Structure formats: structure tokens, C-alpha cells
Amino acid sequence: MLKTGMQVAAILAVMTILEYIFAVTVPNDLVRFIGLSATALTKAGLIMWFFMHLPRAWRGEEAH
Amino acid sequence: MYAATSVAGGLGTGLISFYIGIAITAALRAAFGYNAWDTDLNVTIGFVFGLIGWIMGIGAWGSWGREWFGMKTYARKAPGWQRYFTFCTDHKVIGIQYLVTFMIIFFMAGLLAMGIRTQLAQSDSTFLSNGQYNAVMSMHGIMMVAVAVAAVIGGFGNYAVPIMIGADDMAFPRLNALSFWLVPVTAVTLLTTPFLGGLDHGWTAYPPLSVFTNSSQTLFDLAIITFGLSSILSGLNFIVTIIYMRAPGMTWGKLPIFVWAMFTTAWLALLYTQGFAVALFMIVLSRVAGLSFFDAAKGGDPILYQHVFWFYSHPAVYIMVLPGLGVFLEVITHFSRKPLFAYKYAVGGFMGILGLSGVVWAHHMFTSGMPNYLHGPILVTTEMISIPTGLVFLSALGTIWMGKLWLRAPMLFALAVLVNFACGGVTGIFLADVPTDIHLHDTYFVVAHFHYTIVGGEIFALFAGIYFWFPKMTGRMYNERLAQIHFWWMFIAFNVTFFTMHWPGIEGMNRRISTYPHSLQAVNLFISISAFSLGASFIPFIWNMLYSWARGPVAGPNPWRARTLEWQVSSPPPLENFPTPPVVRDHPYDYGVPGSVHGLFPNAGAPAPAPAGGGGGGQ
Amino acid sequence: MAVAAPAAGHGHHVHPKRAAMNRVGLWLFFFSESIVFALLAMTRFYLKGIEIDKVDQALGLGITIILLASSVSAFTAETAIEHDRRTLASWGLFITIALGVLFAFGVAFEWYTAEFTKDSAFGTAFFTMTGMHAFHVISGVFMLGLVWAQLLRGRYSSKDHWPFSGIVMYWHFVDIVWVFFYPALYLVSTPK
């Protein structure tokens, strides 16, 4: 459990750095906008799924 | 007298916190070298402090707040009527609190409407000054909007939904009590606006006027943001309640239609109310912190407000009307003594309205100067919304068809909804079409249209619901003769007033303005007289309610011989509703279907306390 | 009036789906809140398109990493209390609160040193979005503090930790908002 969380955290950290490098290097506005949106959605999805335990919302019971 | 100490305690902590907030702000401002008194800022901070103080003082501290600090909570059990003045978590108490509060607001706003019509009876009347007229008109608008948004949801939603689905209470009872106790703050704050200069922008509060006008605007913003919070929290509560607390056997396909209406309404409230709150929040920031959202000279744009505002305020009309249509179908089917026709299509209609309501907002802005490419798509989506509404009408008409109509007061009001709302729908087409709207925009045609939809559609349904559930809520029966007098008087006066109002609208008489061309004198005098008659039509209602609540004949558990669960328990239902938990077997509206039973009480020692709706033809 | 109120048992029995109801209720609250933030972000794009005035990129990236790290420590704390590891949970909460306060100071510093003012559309949008987010951070810190105080006094266990989990979920939600606000305010156009 904790281990999965740390792996997800590492992925998020790497994505944040890549997001920054991507934004300062890509010159095309549209590509940058789409890339940033996709990254943000992925990061939000990862946080909701692993950190906020989204699946528990419909499983209903406290999973450990 | 626990009621008095409870309310006085809330008021006391609220007011003290209010002044503490003001004092802290003034002290900080003075410490940092500003002028200590800035009405907007000081009142805003004071309001936030006062709101928290009031909520905690009325009882949230004892039954909720102490928990956050690891202390034991307590809830004082007040007896009898005194419960209505405490932080009571019983959904039936909260339902009646909502209903009574909003009826009071309704009649106050109605008196303001009488003031408007007195002014407009003469083209050059000096009954009200221009400023007073603006204040009266704005207060009438926002108070009636509040009534329309919350009277049916808060009143019947809270009272009936948990019983109808076989639950013992709402999912979050304390949140429910919190939702209600935010309402008095809203009402009192709105009523204090005249002391800071009076509102002068209608209920819509468009900038730039609302940014530059007197400080009553700030109170308006704070009141409505608070009200929005209440609306969102109760929407959330309804969704969780309806998903999780249905009785065994109460599948989605057997949900009473009013519960379906409340479910879709709750989603609307949860999804869109933020729009109004954010729009007003931006105005507060513009006034208090000097931000430049709406200041074109600094890169802002006033049209931004209209987009954000109508993003809520068009769905808001469905928040008003959907629960009304739910009550309407509920009453129609019980009093036609027939199964609800096209139940699934009616549910689909509610879902369709839920889906479409978010993409029609800009039809309020055809003349605002927004980009022209928005006109066509918004016209189409707006007219498309008549399709799901039509499904609801289909269901109602099919139920009435060949039914044995039992024309008691609730049914009369429900049938009036059918007539009025159809009229409102037809006039809506002219306002959805860009070419005609450009002529009719901001005239009395619009006023007539939305009074037909909201008053004709929802307030009539509110009265249908009041007469329908009155015996359940009070245990006593209202006086049918007075109720019928109220109905015919109100129905005729309403139609005469507002149908006539289309005419000056087409002639170009502007709404929201205290004078008008002399040529429209006669018709306005006529409208005013019938409006006074409409106002007087509530006198028999008020008398009927007050008298019957105290002295009416005992109604018994099921005077309408209805099948839904709330009629299978005593009137009024006991605390936690069901002495033995109900189980649901058949559809709630199978009137005349042999052997069909909606609610069973399998563990009851004695038979269910009511003639559990086993069909019931005739009458 | 009321007949046969069941005196015994009122308010004591817990609904069998109570945990699920709490959880879904909280998700609905997040859903509702996210619309507030979405409307504020829309305001920013409506007024300014993707234009960005001069912002402090190093500071922006810094506070983003800080908030992400606080989310990780909050997750650690929640996982720890689910396994009754109270010391780790307590440290997790402490670090989360510290990082949250650091983030709030970062935003304050950004406001203090910003080269744009509230008299421009970008400034208006920037101060509103970061301000609304910082308000949620501060309220989150306050609530985490309440939970921490009770944890230190011995409340919460693997069996009973809903308030703890709920507030950690809220903290993650605040982080998600920043996941969208950070690119929308700092990265969406070529930084000047």
C-alpha cells in the first residue's frame, strides 16, 4: 500500500518536472496547451485513484 | 422556554461575532495605516464572523462543533413546537421550518409586489421615488427567487423524500439542519439592505452598476452566497439520501416521481449554484479589494459577469420548476386514481432537462453584445429543452386521460399548473427566438412569461403540495370550501393579471422602470387592480392554514387513500418515520391494479396503521 | 402529536452504509467545489486568453513541488493510521501541516513580489485563483491541525478514522486544484 503510493508519488514528481520543461521548450501554443491539459488530467487521475481511493467510493466498504 | 434561549443564543453569538469581526478589521486597517472604516470590507468580514457565530450559537456547536475538538456532543431535546426553533436534525421538523419560513418570505415579497403595482397604476405616479422603486422591485425579485428555489425543495423535499423512500431521516441530518439555519441569515441580511442605501439593480446585479452602487450590494452578495451554500449542501444531502437510504425493494424504477424530480433537482443545485456564488464573489472582490474583473479600462469585461451569472441562473429556473413538476405529477396520479402514464418517459424528461439546462444560458444575453456565433446554437438548444418538458406533459395528460378525476384542492392546483405552464412554454418560444427576442427583451412580455412559468408552474405546484401534504404534516384536514375559494380566486386573478401583461410588453413597456408612456395608462391600471385581487386571494389561504392547523378535523393517516409510503404511517409520522421498517413490492402508482401493494411492513406485530394502498378505484 | 416515538435507540444505531455515504458525500462536495475553481479558471481564459504576465517561474515550480510533497506525506499518514502506526501517522500529519504552511508563505511571497498589480486582468485572475486556492490550503491546514491534536490525544485507530481520512482526502483535492491552476497560471504560454 505505502509502496504503491511512493511509486505514484515518484511518477507525479517526474511528471511535474517534465511538465515544466515541456512548457518552457515547446513553442507552439496549441501543442503546449494540449500537452499541459493531458498532463494535468493524468496527474489528477493518479491522485484521485491512488491517494484519494476513488474505487472505495463505489466499493462502499473501507478497504485496507 | 428552550426555544427562546436557543434563538436568543444564536442571535447573541451572531451579533457579538459580527461586531468582533468589524472591530478586528477596523483595528487591522488602522494598524496598517488605512482609514479604519471601509463599509464594504468591514461589513464583509463582520458578516463572515457573524455567520459562524450564529450557526454555532443556534446549536451547531453543541451537536457538531464540539466533536472537531474531541469533546462530547450533545443535542438538547426540546418538546413540541419548541423544536422548530432549535438546531433540530429531524427532517420533518426541518421541512416545516423551511416551508413556514418561505411562506413568510413569500407574503413579504408579495406585499412588495403590491407596492410595485401601486406605483405602476399611474404613469406618472409619485407613490415611490425612483430609488425606492428600484429597492422595492429588487427586493421583490430576489426574495421571490429565493422562495421559488427553496420552498418546494426545502419544504416538501425534506419532509416527504425520506418518508417516500422508506428512510428514517436524511443521510446527513446535521448538514440538513445547517442548510436550514443558513436561511434566516440570508433573509435577515436581505432585509437590512435598505439601511445601507437599498438595492438598485434588480435581482440580477449586473456590473458595472453593482460594483459602483451603494454598500447594500455587498450585503446582497453575502446573503446570496450564503443561500447558495445552503442550496448546494442540501442538494448533496438529497443525492446521497436517495442513492443510499432507499428501503429494500425500492428500486430506481419504483421511485415515486417526486423523488425522481428531487434527485435531478439536487444534481442541478450541486452543479450550477456555484455560478451565482462565483459571480457575486467576483463583485465582492471588485468592491472590497478593487480587482478589475468588470472594469473595461483595466482589461476586464462586464459581459463576463452575465456568462457566469446565467450559467447558474438559467439552470436555476429548472431548480425551481422541476420539483414543482414532481409535485404536479404526484398529485395528478393520486387524484386521477390511475397509474402514472409513461413513468419512464417522465423520468427521462427530468433527465433531459438536467442534461440540456447547462447549455442554454446565453439566451438571456441575445441583446448583451456577446459574439454573434453564439446566437444560433443557443437558440436551438433552448428550443430543444421543450422536448423533455413535453415528455413530462405527456405523462400528465396521459394520466388524466380517462381518469376518474377527484377534484379536491390539490388536484385543482395541479391542473392549473398544466394550463399555466403551457402558456409560459408557448411565450417562451418568442423569447428563445433571436429576432423576436430582440424586440421583446427587457419588456413586460418577459415579466409575464417568467411569472407564468415560475408562479404558474411552481408556486401553483407549491400550493398543490401544501394542500396535499397538509393532513400528513399537521394530522388535521384543511377546510375544502375555503381551499376551493382560494384556488378559483387565485387562478383567475393570476391569469387576468399576467395574461394582460403580455400586451404592454409587446407595446415596448420596459420592465424595472418606475414610469411608462401615458398611452399605456389604462391597461396598467387594469393590471394593477387585478394584481391587488391576486394579492387578496391569499387571505382565505392564510386563514384556512392557521385555523385548520389548530382546530381542523383529524385527518387520519391516509385521507387521500394514496399508495406511496408517506401515507402508510400515522399523521404526522413518528420520529424516525416507521415503527417497523417498510419493504417495497410493487409500483407506487398502480391504482386499480388487482393485488398490487406498494409498501409492506413484514415485521409489524399489528397490521399497518393505514389501509395500505391496495388499489383503490372509484371516487 | 407524534405517536409512539421509539425512545430507545434513536440516534444510536448506525446505518449499515454509513461509511459509503460519508465517502460519496465528500466526493460530491469536491465535485461541487471543483466547479467553483473551474469557473475561476474559465474567467482567467475568458479575460486574458493564454497570456501570462511576468511570474516567478522558480517560485511557482518550488511551491508546486512543496504541495505535491505534502500530499505524499498526507497519504503516508492516512496509510499509517489504517495500520495503527500512530507515530508515523503523527509525523506524516506534522510534515503535511508544515509543508502546507510553507506553501501558503510561498503564495504570500509571490503576491508581495509580483510585478503585475490588481489593476490588470491577469493580476485580477492571478490573485483570485491563487487566493481562493490559498484559502483552501489554510482551511485545510487548520483542519489537519484539529485532527493532529486529536491524534496526539489518542483518538483514531484502524477501526475508526473517518474524520482523519476525510480531511486527508480534502488535502489531496486541494492539491488537484493546484495541478490545474499551476499550468493555467504559470506555464500555459511561453514565459516572458
What residue spans define the domains of chain B?
1-87, 89-551
ipTM of the complex: 0.91
Q: What is the pLDDT of residue C9?
A: 37
Is C171 part of the contact surface with chain A (CB cutoff 8 Å)?
no
Compute the nearest-CA separation of A31 from chain C (Å): 10
Answer for the pair A33, C50: CB distance below 8 angstroms, yes or no: yes
What CATH architecture does domain B89-551 belong to? Answer: Up-down Bundle (1.20)
pLDDT of residue C128: 95
Q: In the predicted model, is pLDDT for residue B386 greater than 80?
A: yes
Domain that holds residue A28: 2-58
| pLDDT(B615) > 60 | no
Mutate to test the interface with C, among B93, B163, B576 (most CBs of C within 10 A): B576
**Confidence band of C79 (pLDDT split at 50, 70, 90):** very high
- What pLDDT is attached to residue B70? 85
Place of cell 460594483: B211
- Looking at this protein, which amino acid is placed at residue B159? Y
Contact C173 A52 (CB under 8 A): yes
Split at pLDDT 50, 70, 90, the class of C191 is: low
User: Which chain C positions have a beta carbon within 8 Å of B32's beta carbon?
Assistant: none
- The DSSP code for B85 is G
| Residue B264 backbone phi and psi in degrees, to 5 | -65, -40
In this model, does residue B609 exceed pLDDT 60? no
Q: Work out the widest C-alpha separation in chain B, in whole angstroms.
A: 81
Q: How confident is the model at residue C63 (pLDDT cuts 50, 70, 90)?
A: very high
Neighbours of chain B (3+ CB pairs under 8 A): C
Q: C22 and chain A: CB distance < 8 Å anywhere?
A: no
In eight-state DSSP terms, residue C156 is -
Rounded to 5°, the CA angle B10-C170-A19 comes to 145
The pTM of the full predicted model, rounded to 2 decimals, is 0.93
- pLDDT per residue as tens digits for the range B181-214: 999 999 999 999 988 888 988 899 999 899 988 8
The pairing of beta strand B583-584 with beta strand B599-600:
antiparallel
Cβ-Cβ contacts under 8 Å, C85 against chain A? none
Which are the contacts of B34, defined by CB distance < 8 A and separation ≥ 6? Answer: none
For residues B417 and B456, is the Cβ–Cβ distance under 8 A? yes
CB contact burial C118-127 (16+ within 10 A = b; e otherwise) = bebbbbbbbb
- Chains contacting chain C through 3 or more C-beta pairs under 8 A: A, B
Mean pLDDT of B64-77: 85
Nearest partner of B228 among B196, B272, B170, judged by Cα: B272
Shortest CA gap B498–chain C (Å): 36
Pure H helices in chain C: 18-48, 57-82, 86-113, 121-152, 162-182
Q: Tell me the domains of chain C and their CATH numbers.
A: 54-187 (1.20.120.80)
State the total domains in chain A.
Answer: 1
- Smallest CA–CA distance, residue C14 to chain A, in Å, is 14
Number of B/C CB contacts below 8 angstroms equals 119
* C71 in contact with chain A, both atoms CB, cutoff 8 A: yes
Kindly tell me if the per-residue pLDDT of B35 is higher than 90.
Answer: no
Please check the confidence at residue C85 and state whether its pLDDT lies above 80. Answer: yes
Is residue B584 within a helix (H) or strand (E), and if so which, with residue range? strand B583-584
Question: Which chain C residue has the Cα nearest residue B302?
Answer: C47
pLDDT at residue number A3: 87
What are the angstrom distances between the C-alpha of B124 and each of B87, B234, B289, B576, C124? 49, 45, 41, 58, 44
What are the start-end ranges of the H helices in A1-64? 2-25, 29-46, 54-59
Res. C3: pLDDT tops 60? no
Question: Which long-range contacts does B307-310 make (Cβ < 8 Å, 24+ apart)?
Answer: B307/B361, B307/B362, B307/B365, B307/B370, B307/C46, B308/B275, B308/B278, B308/B279, B308/B282, B308/C39, B308/C42, B308/C43, B309/B204, B309/B205, B309/B206, B309/B275, B309/B276, B309/B279, B310/B275, B310/B361, B310/B362, B310/B364, B310/B365
DSSP 8-state symbol, B195: G
Partner B contacted by C3 (CB < 8 A): yes
Q: What mean pLDDT do residues C66-93 have?
A: 94
CA distance B481 to chain C (A): 26
C190 touches chain B (CB under 8 A): no
Look at B175-189, B192-206, B414-428, B437-451 and tell me which has the smallest mean pLDDT.
B192-206
Q: Which of C71, C82, C183 sits opposite A64 (nearest CB)?
A: C82
Residue C5 reports pLDDT greater than 70: no
Per CB-CB distance under 8 Å, the chain B contacts of C47 are 293, 299-301, 304
CA atoms within 13 A on the CB side of C4: 8
- Comparing alpha-carbon positions, the chain C residue that sits nearest to B476 is C1
One-letter amino acid of B476: R
Backbone φ and ψ for B554, nearest 5 degrees, come out as -65, 135
CA distance B578 to B163: 8
CA distance C67 to chain B (A): 25
CB contact under 8 A, C31 and B270: yes
Q: Are B517 and B123 in contact (CB under 8 A)?
A: yes
A63 lies in some domain:
no
Instruction: Confirm or reject contact between C19 and chain B (CB < 8 A).
Output: no
- CB contact (8 A) between residue C187 and residue A64: no
Chain C residues with beta carbon closer than 8 angstroms to that of B69: 146, 149-150
Could you give the percent of chain B with pLDDT greater than 70? 97
Residue C45: list chain A partners with CB under 8 A. none
pLDDT at B610: 47
- Is residue A64 in some structural domain? no
A23 shares contact with chain C (CB less than 8 Å): yes
What is the C-alpha to C-alpha distance for residues B91 and B55, in angstroms, rounded to an integer?
18
Considering the domain boundaries, does residue A51 fall inside one?
Answer: yes
What pLDDT is attached to residue B618? Answer: 34
Chain C interface test: which of B48, B68, B82 (most C C-beta within 10 Å): B68
Burial label for B278, CB within 10 Å (0-12, 13-18, 19+), is buried
Instruction: Pick the closest to residue C82 from C150, C157, C149, C19 (CA basis).
Output: C157
Contact of B17 with B52, CB cutoff 8 Å: yes
| A34 assigned to some structural domain | yes
Record: contact A5-C79, CB cut-off 8 A: yes
Residue B93: per-residue pLDDT: 93
Instruction: Record the cell numbers describing residue B441, joined without a space.
Output: 427583451
Weakest-pLDDT range from B176-180, B238-242, B321-325, B592-596: B592-596
Q: What is the mean pLDDT of residues B88-114?
A: 94
What pLDDT, on a 0 to 100 scale, did the predictor assign at position C74?
A: 95
Confidence of residue B497 (pLDDT cuts 50, 70, 90): very high
On chain C, the residues whose CB falls within 8 A of the CB of A61 are: 19-20
Alpha-carbon torsion (B49, B55, B58, B62), positive or negative: negative
Q: Is residue A52 assigned to a domain?
A: yes
Asked if A9 lies within 8 A of C68 by C-beta distance, the reply is: yes
Q: What is the pLDDT of residue C154?
A: 87
